[in-house]
């Protein structure tokens, strides 16, 4: 397949991490998926799972991406257990401006640890 914009982005930090061009603490890797520790963890367990192929955000995903996105979700429980969150975890996908996405390569945050989190969203404005 020709390497287009959705395959490799030269100036994308997460493409570089997936290719090993920027160091990261790897959690898991296969042909299509890379998982690594968040550099600024927000919980005792905090890693990210990304498709190796560049997809800018969940809003940019198409049905062609369904398989890798399904595999990421299906693998998240095993990796969360292995990373020390056996009793559940929270997945977060920040998307676009409204979702306050900071890195423009689709990533699934997996957060966990020994204690339950607070509510998902504040109740008041």
We find the least distance from the C-beta atom of residue 40 to ligand 5GP, in angstroms, to be: 4
State whether residue 32 is helix, strand or coil: coil
Residue 112 contacts residue 80 (beta carbons within 8 Å): yes
Pick one of ligand 5GP, Zn ion, none as the site partner of residue 12 (Cβ within 5 to 8 A by kind). Answer: Zn ion
Contact set for ligand 5GP, span 14-73 (CB under 6 A): 24, 36-40
Least separation, in Å, of the C-beta of 45 and Zn ion?
24
Considering only residues 75-94, where is the footprint of ligand 5GP by CB under 6 A? 94
Whether 107 is a known active-site residue: answer yes
Options 6-14, 33-41, 57-65, 69-77: segment touching Zn ion (CB under 5 A): 6-14
CA 114, distance to chain mean position in Å, is 21
Q: Is residue 102 a contact point for ligand 5GP (CB under 6 A)?
A: yes
What residues are paired with 46 via a beta bridge? 111
Provide CB contacts within 8 A for 20, sequence distance 6+. Answer: none
Report the C-alpha dihedral over residues 64, 81, 25, 72, rounded to 10 degrees.
0
Sequence-distant (≥ 6) Cβ neighbours of residue 116 within 8 angstroms: none
Question: Which residues bind to ligand 5GP, rule: CB under 6 A?
Answer: 13, 24, 36-40, 94, 100-103
Question: Which residues bind to Zn ion, rule: CB under 5 A?
Answer: 9, 12, 14-15, 54, 105
Q: List, by residue number, the catalytic residues.
A: 107
């Amino acid at each position: 397949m020709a390497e287009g914009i959705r395959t490799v982005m030269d100036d994308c930090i997460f493409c570089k991490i997936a290719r090993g061009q920027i160091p990261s603490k790897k959690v898991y890797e296969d042909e299509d998926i890379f998982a690594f520790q968040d550099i600024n963890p927000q919980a005792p367990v905090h890693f990210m799972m990304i498709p190796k192929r560049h997809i800018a955000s969940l809003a940019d995903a198409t049905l062609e991406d369904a398989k890798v996105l399904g595999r990421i979700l299906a693998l998240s429980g095993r990796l969360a257990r292995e990373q020390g969150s056996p009793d559940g975890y929270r997945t977060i996908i920040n998307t676009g401006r409204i979702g306050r996405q900071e890195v423009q390569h689709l990533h699934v945050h997996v957060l966990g640890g020994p204690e339950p989190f607070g509510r998902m969203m504040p109740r008041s404005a």
